[in-house]
Amino acid sequence: MKRSKGQGNIGVLMGGVSAEREISLRTGEAITKALMDRGYDVCSIDVGYDIAEQLISKQLRVAFIALHGRFGEDGTIQGMLEIMRIPYTGSGVLASALSMDKIMSKRIFTAHAIPTPASHILQEAEGVEEALEKLDFSFPVVVKPASEGSTIGVTVVHNRKGLAQAIEQARRYDHRLLLEEYIKGKEITLGVLNGQPLPIIEIAPKCGFYDYRAKYTKGETEYILPARIPPKAHEEAERSGLKAYEALGCEGCARVDMMTDEKADIFVLEVNSMPGMTETSLVPKAAQFAGIDFPELVERILRGASLKA
């Protein structure tokens, strides 16, 4: 094999066993192509329950994590790579786990005075009656599984009947749910690359809610760069987004999803420690706007690969 750039054999870890498998495969394929085009030795690894055996047989020197969801974005694969002493891209074990868990993220945001929508936790044994008792904000309400990405299992509900249906749907993905205050306004996102902010993108789905279909169906969402928000809101979004990234202990590339309300106040929703990385994903769009093409973006992320423990 050709060895260039001094990196040796790089494995792009993709696929996985989560509900986000198909998105991860697309991310991994784009990253693999970009690295190969830059002259790196690269192999694609479809991550399954035999991943330990695969890592041993490949004798990797560096792992580029392109996994989304559970068993890839939640600190588990990061822990395995730490034990095997294989440097890897992105955030470490704890930061990955905290970012993936929306309930724990909320607690961190609150502790650091980072603005975030009001919310309540719905435990496994609790249903719609308990949910109604806990709510101290009015409908609409956003119902989220605690540990899923790509808006999987997320529903905006407007009444009691919708709440019962949303709880049932979200429980397919997690036993713990987050009931969150709905913020009416613009959805925006801030990419962070090695601790530095990228341009803020405004997300304008045609259906009004940025769900799985709006994210991954061509033409269903308009992405506006730079975001159409006032300068003061832009500064606050950048400040709050970086603060959330740092509070969770993130490293490398991440994406902070936020809302602005009708007064242009900023609310942090969540941090994605392994954002989508196809050439048309949000972080690459922001990087391109900042003058960083996709292969260069991927290479910058690779350069940050390390062991964290």
Active site residues: 20, 150, 216, 255, 257, 270, 272, 276
- Please name the amino acid found at residue 245: Y
Q: Which residue has the tokens 């330990």?
A: 52
Burial 184-205 (b: 16+ CB within 10 A, else e): ebbbbbbbbbeeebbbbbbbbb
**Both tokens of residue 262?**
């009708």
Rounded CA gap, 233 and 212, in Å? 27
Rounded CA gap, 169 and 214, in Å? 18
Alpha helices for the chain (secondary structure H):
21-37, 51-58, 76-84, 93-100, 102-111, 128-134, 160-170, 212-216, 231-247, 282-289, 294-303
